Amino acid sequence: MIDTRHRGQRPGHSSVGIAMKPSVECRKLAEVLREKATTVEDAELRAEYQYLVRGFLRLARQFEQDMEAKKLPNQRSRKAAA
């Protein structure tokens, strides 16, 4: 495997693009798949794309809920400390 990292860059972090939140990535993928579903003539394939769109949107909501759940305890502990 070829190492494409810059000197000093941590493993697992790409220098190719700006990192996005997982929920944003899921929503973008869902948008691409939704467009693909509108252009496909085969009904079964269109249904598969729509199924994937729903799955990615559900996953995006899950990521957002998990992030909100992680934020709430931290905010409460800060208020209690003040």
CA torsion sign for 22, 25, 29, 31 is positive
pLDDT band per the 50, 70, 90 thresholds, residue 74: low
Q: Where are the domains of the chain?
A: 22-81
Q: What letter represents residue 41's amino acid?
A: E
pLDDT one-digit tens code per residue, 33-62? 999 999 999 999 999 999 999 999 999 999
- Measure the CA–CA gap between 56 and 51, rounded to whole angstroms: 9
pTM of the complete model beyond 0.75? no
Question: With 0-12 CB in 10 A as exposed, 13-18 as middle and 19+ as buried, what is 49?
Answer: buried
- Measure the CA–CA gap between 24 and 30, rounded to whole angstroms: 10
Q: What is the pLDDT of residue 75?
A: 59
What value does the mean pLDDT take over residues 12-27? 74
Q: What letter represents residue 44's amino acid?
A: E
Q: What is the pLDDT of residue 13?
A: 52
